[in-house]
Structure 1
Amino acid sequence: MTRDMVFIHTCTDQEEVARLSQRYDFLAVSVVDREQRLVSIITIDNVIYIIQK
């Protein structure tokens, strides 16, 4: 089991999300709020769009 969770906060810049996804080779990244509750998921499709932009 992995105890070190990788996630992004709702205020994280989209370029940082793209770099994080590339660094860890993720297909999706969890988005959490201040209390670390799951808010959304950023998929690889979204990341590719950000990189192309």
Structure 2
Amino acid sequence: MEEGHFAPGSMLPKVQAAVEFAESGEGRTALITLLQKAKDGVNGTTGTRIIKK
């Protein structure tokens, strides 16, 4: 995010929210994907995952 890879008003708010969620508790993972591809996202074949390390 700090490098400016995400456009404000586009992906940036989604990534910020996903990072905030993932960092808010142990074992939390955020998934960014299209609603139509939610099943594939949960199965790990599409989307962007944000995982707290």
TM-score normalised by structure 2 residue count = 0.36
- Name which one, 1 or 2, has greater alpha-carbon Rg: 2
The structure that is strand-richer by fraction is 1
TM-score normalised by structure 1 residue count = 0.36
